[in-house]
Structure 1
């Protein structure tokens, strides 16, 4: 399992920091994992799965 920081999540998804945290609050994006008092990361596979779900949803509309 690989953990990634916010910068990588932004690069993978092309979302802004504000959008990512809003979507987490809405329950539509994978939650971050606390690594300590001021450090968080995401499970890379969960972020890629989220992207793949967006692709699948797009392809269903065709």
Structure 2
């Protein structure tokens, strides 16, 4: 019988060394640094987020007109919720509807 059988099953015999290609690959990866997030805007009440279809329906604007107004600062900016998801605060949209520019 060899000495390997005296250890419990699954016990590691050797620690991975730096020359181990898997360990070396894992050690060389660095986490990506993201820019700091802007400080959150203080809102005194819970505000509902509305997605693009509802904003277009409320404002009676086309998609391209809405985004042109956002780009020129004549419409509130959207809030990014994910990689491909944006929404607007309902109170900002309703305030713009009271005095559209």
Structure 2 unmatched runs, 5+: 1-46
- Looking at secondary structure, tell me which structure has more helix per residue: 1
Deviation of the 1:53 alpha carbon:
1.1
Query: Is the partner of 1:42 in helix, strand or coil?
Result: strand
Residue in 2 that maps onto 1:23:
69
Larger Rg: 2
Name which structure has the greater RCO, CA cutoff 8 Å, separation 6+.
1
Matched, 1:35 2:87: no
Structure 1 unmatched runs, 5+: 58-62
Q: Count residues in correspondence.
A: 55
Residue in 2 that maps onto 1:50:
96
Q: Once superposed, which parts of structure 1, at least 4 consecutive aligned residues long, lie more than 4 Å away?
A: none
Question: So what's the TM-score if we normalise by structure 2?
Answer: 0.53
Residue in 2 that maps onto 1:2:
48
C-alpha distance in structure 1 between counterparts of 2:76 and 2:63, whole Å: 13
- Looking at secondary structure, tell me which structure has more strand per residue: 1
